[in-house]
Amino acid sequence: MPHLPPCSDLAGHDVANQPHDRGDLDLWGDDVALRDHAGANGAAAAHLESYAAMIGAGDMRAAGRAANRQPPELLAFDAGGRRLDEVRFHPDYHRLLEAGIGAGYAAIAWEGGKGGHATHAAMVYLTSQIEPGVCCPMTMTYAAVPALRADPAIFAQWVPKLIARAYDGAPVPMARKPGATMGMAMTEKQGGSDLRANATVARPDGESYRLTGHKWFCSAPMSDGFLTLAQAPGGLTCFLVPRWLDAERNAIRLMRLKDKLGNRANASAEIEYDNAPAYRVGDEGAGIQTIIEMVHHTRLDTALAPAGLMRAALDHAAHWARHRSVFQKRLIDQPLMRAVLSDLALDWEGTLALGMRVARAFDATSESEKAFARLAVALAKYLGNKLCPGLVYEAMEAIGGMGYVEDTPLPLLYREAPLNSIWEGSGNVICLDVLRTLRRAPEAGEALSAELGAASGQYRRYDAALREHMGRFPRLPEEGEARWYVESLATLLTASVLIRFAPPAVAEGYVATRLAGERGRTAGALRGVDEAALLARIGGV
């Protein structure tokens, strides 16, 4: 960052009506909605304030931009033709991982403190605003912990390193590192979400196995280990494949890096297991049941990440509007701009509020809350990610032509916006999971009904919308109506959370526009909301 202000008095003109660089951002102090919903759900406020100050600093924001501009590079061989199978990253990628892991992104939920998952969820939200690509390896490291409980010996060996709050990206065995990261490699080209179609073979080899096969997506291929699925003699089974063996590289061949739309700082690869040693986690044939624990926890992060992307986009648009004038008035004082931004604020805060409520359920020990978490995380993931791309686009348009230019963060956010809807279960998969959970686990439906009922009696239009949903869907719908059903449930659940934990202006605006239909199909096509109160929630002064 420059130590002196840039020169505005140029030879041919003065630079005017352009907001200055914002420098350090107060991601905690300026985000009243985060403070409210973090507090309501038991997150550690002091820890979040400290973390927000660190990653919101101007030099960390610059590091995120640098890591995103220079994508990872695959080094398959050394100069002599020997296999390396390594990915090299921009130094700032490692800097951001060191900051996040050092602050407990992957660890805090498992350290026994109060509100660990809620604090972790808020850290996902904060990190996604600075550089969302680095979230992937940290999220998988966090989420691997419950899956590894299926094997006590592996758990004892790996989990202390996964939650060590120490990052070491060196290509050396895990035993020689103070901390470790965990990746995931599940899908294959012929099956995709149909994991039972996986063809990778696992042959018993003493106390371990040997894996042979191809994986279409391997997230964060420089992780120290990977949870993966392969066909063992007893059926589809979960395995831990170490990246490095005691004295050599494991036979994990990096075939190519995926040329992705977004998430550019992070690497995703196609890999082949070439008779690679691996260790079984859980029973043979129980692969999906074992790895689903990891998926369940990564879904929490995919429910919070869109809220972070929304926040970053909306915050930037609001800052622009407050510091730019058109037609002799500030943009923020123009009626149409106020309508657009206040409308977007409802979707952003609704996504944040629901995600943080779900995170509280991950922290709970009661069976009812655990059942609620299984169902609600899918609802939160579905709705938030469907809303995210549209919100980011509208924020881009609010800035105008500059929003389409890489000098601003909006292009990065726009490329990232679809990712979390696709990762860990696309929209259709999530909807089918919701129906499956309700059929197989009636306690989850009971917990959801209790949560929806907790907001009854306060807003007539909420009560009417809940009755309308029950009338339209007296029983579980057929598959073809699953998206309508899930969207309706998730919107009602968001309203319930806002009614109980957000200011009246937010709850009333959400109920009126999202449930009662007092809104058009595009952002800003609404009336009757408390614009001043909603714009104050955004901040961005």
Cα angle 369-371-375, degrees, rounded to a multiple of 5: 110
The upper half-sphere exposure of residue 381, i.e. CA atoms within 13 Å in the direction of its Cβ, equals 30
Same domain, 239 and 306: no
Question: Which pLDDT value is given to residue 127?
Answer: 98
Same domain, 247 and 300: no
- d(Cα 206, Cα 203) in Å, to the nearest integer? 10
- d(Cα 487, Cα 118) in Å, to the nearest integer? 24
Q: What is the mean pLDDT of residues 131-141?
A: 97
Same domain, 118 and 246: yes
Domain interval for residue 470: 289-538
Quick one: tokens of 266? 């992070």
Question: Which pLDDT value is given to residue 539?
Answer: 86
Continuous segment of H or E residues that includes residue 432:
helix 427-440
Q: What is the mean pLDDT of residues 120-142?
A: 97
pTM: 0.96
Mean pLDDT over each residue of the chain, to the nearest integer: 95
Quick one: tokens of 279? 């260790």
Report if residue 16 sits inside a domain.
no
Report if residue 4 sits inside a domain.
no
The 3-state DSSP class for residue 184 equals strand
CATH of the domain at 505: 1.20.140.10
Residue 279 dihedral angles phi and psi, to the nearest 5°: -125, 130
- pLDDT > 70? residue 540: no
Question: Distance between the two ends of the chain, CA-based, in angstroms?
Answer: 21
Report if residue 15 sits inside a domain.
no
Residues, the chain, total? 541
Same domain, 97 and 170: yes
Question: Which pLDDT value is given to residue 63?
Answer: 97
Same domain, 197 and 104: yes
- pLDDT > 90? residue 8: no
Report if residue 253 sits inside a domain.
yes
pLDDT, tens digit, 9 for 90 and up, residues 488-537: 999 999 999 999 999 999 999 999 999 998 899 999 999 889 999 999 99
Query: Of 225, 255, 285, which residue constitutes the final position of a domain?
Result: 285
Q: What is the mean pLDDT of residues 225-233?
A: 97
Continuous segment of H or E residues that includes residue 216:
strand 208-219
Q: What is the mean pLDDT of residues 437-462?
A: 97
* DSSP label at residue 512: I
Report if residue 17 sits inside a domain.
no
Same domain, 253 and 335: no
Q: What is the mean pLDDT of residues 309-319?
A: 97
Residue 14 CB partners (closer than 8 Å, separation 6+): 8
- d(Cα 35, Cα 49) in Å, to the nearest integer? 9
How does residue 327 score in pLDDT terms, banded at 50, 70 and 90? confident
The residue among 541 and 269 whose pLDDT is bigger is 269
- pLDDT > 80? residue 50: yes
- d(Cα 99, Cα 124) in Å, to the nearest integer? 13
Q: What is the mean pLDDT of residues 296-301?
A: 97
- d(Cα 339, Cα 528) in Å, to the nearest integer? 10
How does residue 136 score in pLDDT terms, banded at 50, 70 and 90? very high
- Work out how many domains the chain is built from and give that number: 2
Burial environment of residue 15 by CB neighbours within 10 A (0 to 12, 13 to 18, 19 or more): exposed
Report if residue 408 sits inside a domain.
yes
Cα angle 516-522-526, degrees, rounded to a multiple of 5: 45
- d(Cα 120, Cα 41) in Å, to the nearest integer? 12
The residue among 526 and 12 whose pLDDT is bigger is 526
How does residue 2 score in pLDDT terms, banded at 50, 70 and 90? low
- pLDDT > 60? residue 191: yes
- pLDDT > 60? residue 193: yes
Q: What is the mean pLDDT of residues 283-287?
A: 97
- pLDDT > 90? residue 288: yes
The 3-state DSSP class for residue 490 equals helix
Same domain, 52 and 135: yes
How does residue 24 score in pLDDT terms, banded at 50, 70 and 90? very high
Residue 315 dihedral angles phi and psi, to the nearest 5°: -65, -40
Query: Of 237, 254, 285, which residue constitutes the final position of a domain?
Result: 285
Same domain, 243 and 388: no
Same domain, 266 and 301: no
Same domain, 89 and 231: yes
- d(Cα 449, Cα 376) in Å, to the nearest integer? 11
Question: Which pLDDT value is given to residue 488?
Answer: 98
- pLDDT > 80? residue 541: no
Question: Which pLDDT value is given to residue 187?
Answer: 92
- pLDDT > 70? residue 23: yes
Same domain, 295 and 230: no
391 within 8 A of 345, measured Cβ to Cβ:
no
3-state secondary structure 71-83: CCEEEEECCCCCE
216 within 8 A of 188, measured Cβ to Cβ:
yes
Q: What Cα–Cα distance (Å) separates residue 126 from each residue in 27, 111, 201, 304, 344?
A: 7, 20, 40, 9, 19
- pLDDT > 80? residue 426: yes
CATH of the domain at 201: 2.40.110.20
Same domain, 255 and 304: no
Query: Of 285, 317, 337, which residue constitutes the final position of a domain?
Result: 285
Pairing of strands 225-232, 182-185: parallel
50 within 8 A of 79, measured Cβ to Cβ:
no
Question: Which pLDDT value is given to residue 518?
Answer: 87
Percent of the chain with pLDDT over 70: 99
- pLDDT > 60? residue 1: no
